Amino acid sequence: MVTKFKEKESIVTKFIDLILPEPLLRAAAELKYYNPTPIQELCIPWLLENAGDLIAVAQTGTGKTAAFGFPILNHTNIELAAVQTLILCPTRELCLQIHSDFTDFTRYMPRIKLAAVYGGASMQKQKDALKAGAQIVAGTPGRVYDLIRQNLLKLEQLTCLVLDEADEMLNMGFQEELFAILSCCPEARQTLLFSATMPQTVVKLADTFLKEPHQIGVADQQQGVGNILHYYYKVHARDKYLALKRIADMNPNIYGIIFCRTRHETQEIADKLQQDGYNADALHGDLSQGQRELVMNRFRSKYVRLLVATDVAARGLDVDDLSHIINYNLPTEPDLYIHRSGRTGRAGKKGISLSIIHSKEMTALQAIERRLGREIVFTRVPGGREICEKQLYNFIDMVERIEVDQEQIDSFLPNVYKKLSWMSREELIQRFVSVEFNRFLSYYKNLNDLDVVTDGAKKADKSTFQFKTFRLGIGKADAVTKREIMRYINQLRVTRSIEIGQIEIYDKHLLIELDSTYEYQLLKAIPRVKFKGKAISISSVESSLSRKSKSAYKGRKSR
């Protein structure tokens, strides 16, 4: 049974110290594998010496493929033209990435044959690769199971089964296929399970099919807690895209992924960004394989600076040097937030994880904070003046850094000097700046703040004011009055003044309408401050109080 994970001490500090055959070490050196990542340090030596099952918790981008790839290649029998290793993964992108990595690893092992099998591509080519004697096969569960049922993928000689991104395969609904494939595999095999998270579905899978697995947990080491700054912006739902634009404009050199929840929203946001002049593109499940590869190549080359993606589509994308992760929607699970944010802040570099939320997402944000073990800091959506200032100084920095090719421009300069000679230095700079920044200045002139105000920020005007209903664990049985509860709310000091709406008191609880702006502060403050010596529970309620209730308190501002 899978219980908890124990961290193991690092074993090697350099790749050359690994006990691998010369062709693999030579390939590793050319691929610049100098120092093993934590997952490689822990997995490779153990897998080289042991044939038992393994569970490793590690995120995308931590070097997992090399962690299991080099030991697998070391153990592959090049004399046997049959499938010896099957690697299951959730997406076509990850399947192709694994195949590409193994192709690199085996550049000096010509007798090793590989195959990638996945949906949405010619099955005939995949059949041909299997018939040619592929010894290592990477594939998606659906296509693999189809080939097994057609007796085209034969597993009699299988010695190693790898479940890569096991949590995502189960999230995508591949449980039936996985269980069927595992049931077709020989009993005497080694099973390696890699997963970014360990929900109960993965634990159940491991309990069913793995035998006393060795356990390695390095996910927490890869969260980049010290390297990643976590912030959130709180805006009205209708203003999310406007906030996203301001974030992009405030970070002129941004290179990041914007995560959305659905394919439709992903494409819609990418289209809007493109129309507004940003180097953006979309990555989601509705794209053909050719379109996906084109988008990913454009992003890897940094021609596309903002990639709008769903979680599933981004699983096969491993890119270093990301400056930002932007959560246009919070993920459904806190672990998925950690998985997203772990794509930045790698290799000791700083990274930034930003979330654009509205009032109803505060509870989800708190759950993420608890799982993350640190506060996600509220910050203001950038204003027009600071954005223009940032863009201007970035442009000036570019001018300062640019290398002048004197030979290329020398012949043009006399006429340029003559043409501009009537202007003073100050006039020239003014026009120079105006050419570049008139668009920004005109767009951001007189724009309102987007923040749904948190304490210390400017209060929203009445036209955007909204009440939120809260349920407090105190009622008539505690002899509470409306005046007392108003005084109690005021004593919390979450702000200088807070709008209070209706109050309805029941036997053991009460419902109260409060300014939705301060939901986060109220949910944190009320459990900490006792009422008449009693600790009070609080939760937000989706439904609103009836405006026709005569017993309800008519809202006014608490002072």
Mind listing the pLDDT tens digit for each residue in 299-318?
Answer: 999 999 999 999 877 876 77
Please state, in angstroms and as integers, the Cα–Cα distance from residue 461 to each residue in 365, 451, 452, 466, 517, following that order. Answer: 25, 11, 10, 10, 12
pLDDT above 70 as % of the chain: 87
Q: What is the pLDDT of residues 205-259, one digit of tens each?
A: 999 999 999 998 754 444 445 588 899 999 998 899 999 999 999 998 999 999 9
Q: What is the pLDDT of residues 291-301, one digit of tens each?
A: 888 998 899 99
428 shares a domain with 397:
yes
169 shares a domain with 131:
yes
457 inside domain: no
- How far apart, in whole angstroms, are the C-alpha atoms of residue 111 and residue 79? 8
- How far apart, in whole angstroms, are the C-alpha atoms of residue 135 and residue 158? 9
Q: What is the pLDDT of residues 44-82, one digit of tens each?
A: 999 999 999 999 987 766 788 999 999 999 999 999 999
Is pLDDT above 50 for 555? no
360 inside domain: yes
306 inside domain: yes
234 shares a domain with 137:
no
Question: Looking at residue 12, what is its pLDDT?
Answer: 53
550 inside domain: yes
- Lowest mean per-residue pLDDT among 44-48, 410-414, 475-479, 488-492: 488-492
Is pLDDT above 70 for 497? no
Q: What is the pLDDT of residues 406-416, one digit of tens each?
A: 888 888 988 98
pTM, entire model: 0.56
265 shares a domain with 209:
no
Question: End of a domain among 172, 206, 222?
Answer: 222
For the beta carbon of residue 350, count every other beta carbon within 10 angstroms.
12
Nearest in space to 469 (alpha carbons), one of 530, 538, 525, 416 = 538
109-114: long-range contacts at Cβ-Cβ below 8 A with a sequence spacing of 24 or more?
109/23, 109/24, 109/27, 109/73, 109/78, 111/78, 112/73, 112/76, 112/78, 112/136, 113/81, 114/138
Which structural domain, as residue segments, surrounds residue 430? 385-403+412-444
399 inside domain: yes
CATH number of the domain within which 505 lies: 3.30.70.330
19 shares a domain with 115:
yes
199 shares a domain with 169:
yes
Question: Looking at residue 558, what is its pLDDT?
Answer: 43
Amino acid at 197: T
Coil, helix or strand for 430? helix
- How far apart, in whole angstroms, are the C-alpha atoms of residue 232 and residue 178? 38
- How far apart, in whole angstroms, are the C-alpha atoms of residue 297 and residue 117? 21
Question: By the 8 A CB rule, do 454 and 517 touch?
Answer: yes
Question: Looking at residue 494, what is its pLDDT?
Answer: 62
418 shares a domain with 535:
no
Question: Residue ranges of the alpha helices (H) in 50-151?
Answer: 64-75, 92-105, 123-131, 141-149
61 shares a domain with 207:
yes
Is pLDDT above 50 for 129? yes
Taking all residues of the chain, what is their mean pLDDT, rounded to a whole number? 84
Distance, CA of 294 to chain centre:
21
Burial class (CB in 10 A: 0-12, 13-18, 19+), 261: middle
493 inside domain: yes
Nearest in space to 135 (alpha carbons), one of 106, 107, 163, 108 = 106
288 inside domain: yes
Q: What is the pLDDT of residues 317-327, one digit of tens each?
A: 778 789 999 99
Q: What is the pLDDT of residues 386-400, one digit of tens each?
A: 888 888 888 888 888
- How far apart, in whole angstroms, are the C-alpha atoms of residue 153 and residue 170? 22
What token pair was written down for 510?
């009460």
166 shares a domain with 50:
yes
Question: Looking at residue 546, what is its pLDDT?
Answer: 58
Sequence-distant (6+) residues with CB within 8 A of 368 are: 330, 334, 337, 376
Is pLDDT above 90 for 117? yes
Strand partners, 161: 86, 191
Question: By the 8 A CB rule, do 474 and 510 touch?
Answer: yes
Average pLDDT for 259-269: 93
Average pLDDT for 493-509: 79
468 shares a domain with 433:
no
CATH number of the domain within which 318 lies: 3.40.50.300
527 inside domain: yes
Q: What is the pLDDT of residues 434-464, one digit of tens each?
A: 776 776 677 776 667 777 654 444 443 433 4
For the beta carbon of residue 452, count every other beta carbon within 10 angstroms.
25
230 shares a domain with 140:
no
133 shares a domain with 87:
yes
Question: Looking at residue 196, what is its pLDDT?
Answer: 80
Amino acid at 10: S
Number of domains in the chain: 4
- How far apart, in whole angstroms, are the C-alpha atoms of residue 202 and residue 58? 14
What token pair was written down for 80?
């046997």
